[in-house]
Chain A
Amino acid sequence: MSSDRRRPGNGAAPPVTSPNGDTPLPRPGDPPITPDLVDDHGISPDEYDQILRIMGREPTFTELGVFSAMWSEHCGYKNSKRLLRLLPTEAPWVIQGPGENAGVIDVGGGWALAFKIESHNHPSAVEPYQGAATGIGGILRDVFTMGARPVATLNSLHFGDLDSPRVRYLFSGVVKGIGDYGNCVGIPSTGGEVYFDRGYEDNPIVNAMCLGLMRREDLIRGTAEGVGNTLMAVGARTGRDGIHGATFASEELSEGDDEASRPQVQVGDPFTEKLLLEASLELIASGHIVGIQDMGAAGLTSSGAEMAGRSGTGVVMDTARVPVREQGMTPYEILLSESQERMLVVAEAGREDGVREILEKWELEAETIGHVTETGTFRVLEDGVAVADIPALPLTEGCPTYERPGEESPEIGNLRKTDVLHYMLPPNGLESAFLAVVGSPNTSSKQWVYEQYDTSVRANSIERPGGDAGVIRVPGTNRGVAATTDCNGRHTYLNPRTGAMGAVAEAARNVACTGAVPMAITNCLNFGSPLKPHIRHQFREAVMGMRDACAYLETPVTGGNVSFYNETDGQAVYPTPVIGMVGVIDDVGNVVRHAFRDPGDAILLLGTNRGELGGSEYLYAVHDVVAGEPPAVDLHAERSLQRCLLAMAGRRMLKSAHDVASGGLAATLVESCLGRPRTGRAVGASIRLEDELPDTALLFGEDHGRVIVSCGPDEEENVRRMTSDHGVPCTRIGTVTGEESPLEINTRSAALRLALGALRDRYFGTIPGIMSEAG
């Protein structure tokens, strides 16, 4: 740590004051406020008029910067807020819904789970390593500022096809960035997803999710309560990095932006984060503070204004008191800096020394920078001279919101109408198609990715990545929390409503497969520019689909993040509403895993084969086509299936359960046979499918509402009775055979006999093969 750290002379710093009521004046050197400058700040003429009304005068340059950040898409949700209000957010177990640093649910036994997902797409497109690393840092802080200790992270990553060197560079950089940051802080990664599709060629989707656990009574919020309480800047110093990152994240990238954007990239310091985590939790436990918030997007501005806005108070702070890393920083820069690993803390008046003592133990700084006022304004001084004074509530809540009409692009409508029957015949035969599907980068194992993440630290990882959902034990108990992320972008591209509904259904099914009850979701909505009607259509449809599914499955939304402008040169990513689902299991001893276990076990299919190939991995991997109507979602059937799975898991009836999704029955069967890499044991299976469907549709269809389970021969009757009680279709489709026996699949018209060795090479070898050839 730096030795030249500034300390206040003796104990309390002098109060932050300025001559009463003075109105901020332009600082020497401030540019004049012109229409161009306003436009450069991403503020429309109408929005500027509104600013003039709120202020009753022309804003200073500093104030304009503050508005620009707070009314950016990233902080102000101006193009999404109205629709997001339609999502269900309440349930008896929800302790904290949207609007805080993270959502919180009750998980029983006096424990609460804080969780949230957030995007770091734009920074990762420019600098994959730091972009992804700081994404992890930000989401960890969102969780531990609620008073919860982070216990797991997950990542939802979507990239272009791996045959592009640039995509490989982004992919390996993002994975290394996530790993290096999370590993150093010591939080296990328990899962997530990685997709590859040309729909993400120039705009990777990098979404990070974090789960944290706390005793219910330790919950703390990001509020600035108590007039006279002290604002303290805690953690790393403020530098010029990432100034206007929040605005940057809300603009479309254009070719050649790489170089120009670089200075805005923030650099992560996971070691400081680890110290900040420990110090924050100690601080919260000490009772010295009443509120704490990450200085994330728009830094000191958003944390200060939001804390005041939430409590209906005001704040005053002096930028000259903020510890800085560089000389000569202006208030504008200090307010908008996005330097990482910093917190704003509201300390109980008189207990500042206690705060400082804890921070010093962890070799971090804590500096008094202002206090809570009753004025209702966000007021900023520079060495005692007013430079900004803005009503806090209009700043945080008054951002103009829009809901302009949308319209589907006719191109998508046509793709959806494509008759996938044209593609029923694989050009090189069924076996070759089978290997192509299970060996495609999308379907194949993500071992290359998750082995770069520490998955076992803290010794509570019950189910590590590679299965349906990760499961973490609540320390000192038998209770567990499960989590997964899901979004099949191809499905949402072809039909955003069905696709989003499917993402929720699949996430819940994944959680239920492990034996955990799906409880709530956090979402990360990654879309193109909301200024375009077809993107607005996608967004609206996706929100509607999510609303229906979350309401029916009783998994309310507790918060999340919207990322618009995921476009390069007018080409938007697939609409990608990522669902982060959490669940609870009372006894981690009941966790069901995805791998088949013992020879002689019965293999059963729960749900119905319908052979829906629209938007499937088969069409992409074998025919290079993204088309058709994506699989339909029957929410009633999903709910019955999930309840049935939970009932069976609770009675320990199942040896395995594995959801059918991307890659269809083919992928699910291969995964259940191969189990885990390295220390797992692979078994064969003999499968007979009697459905009257074309072989390709039967093997590769991605119909929702299906799970393949296995059980001991003597449990089969019980499973049948249980499924019948729940109204879930159940078909015996085969038997687990010996270790290293082949996977044999017979349909009405085809017979496949696949050696596990060949499947293993395809399933585990694809991504390492591509990445090692690429060097």
Chain B
Amino acid sequence: MSRFTVEVLVTPRPGLLDPQGKAIHHALASLGYDAVEDVRVGKAIYLEVAAASAEEAAERVEEACRKLLANPVTEDFRVTAETHR
């Protein structure tokens, strides 16, 4: 068994109104960042996981995402596993 750092990115599903993203977009525009065309706000969750391989670690966490970490009605998720340093 080794330890892996698994990063979960949870993001609002495409098309879902994201008022936070909208507010940040507005604020950036008022600061002169005109090139910013869209902003979406999600969250990152970091897990330390013991597993035989990075694939296994990612697989476990994906299951946890479907069950708890993301809400399938409104959110998508992406999982990346790295060897723990």
Contacts and interface: CB of A to CB of B under 8 A. Distances in A.
Interface of A: 775
B26 interface: yes
A775 B22 CA distance: 11
Interface in B18-77: 23, 26-27, 30
Interface residues of B, number: 4
A181 B27 CA distance: 26
Contacts of A775: 23, 26-27, 30
Contacts of B26: 775
A775 B27 CA distance: 6
A773 to B, nearest CB: 10
A306 B24 CA distance: 47
Nearest to A775: B27
A2 to B, nearest CB: 13
B22 to A, nearest CB: 11
A529 to B, nearest CB: 37
A775 B31 CA distance: 11
Interface of B: 23, 26-27, 30
B33 to A, nearest CB: 13
A775 B30 CA distance: 9
A775 B26 CA distance: 8
A727 B23 CA distance: 57
Contacts of B30: 775
B46 to A, nearest CB: 16
Nearest to B26: A775
A775 B28 CA distance: 10
4 contacts: A775-B23, A775-B26, A775-B27, A775-B30
Smallest CB-CB A-B distances: 3 pairs? A775-B27, A775-B26, A775-B30
Nearest to A773: B30
Contacts of B23: 775
A593 B45 CA distance: 49
A775 to B, nearest CB: 5
A168 to B, nearest CB: 12
Contacts of B27: 775
A281 B23 CA distance: 42
Nearest to B23: A775
A516 B13 CA distance: 53
A775 B19 CA distance: 12
B58 to A, nearest CB: 22
A413 B7 CA distance: 63
B40 to A, nearest CB: 18
Nearest to B29: A775
B77 to A, nearest CB: 24
A775 B23 CA distance: 7
B48 to A, nearest CB: 12
B28 to A, nearest CB: 10
A303 to B, nearest CB: 34
A176 to B, nearest CB: 13
A153 B27 CA distance: 33
A277 B30 CA distance: 43
B15 to A, nearest CB: 24
A431 B26 CA distance: 36
A606 to B, nearest CB: 47
A76 B27 CA distance: 45
A712 B66 CA distance: 64
A258 B23 CA distance: 25
B76 to A, nearest CB: 27
Nearest to B24: A775
A769 to B, nearest CB: 16
A165 to B, nearest CB: 11
A120 B63 CA distance: 44
A113 to B, nearest CB: 40
A302 B23 CA distance: 44
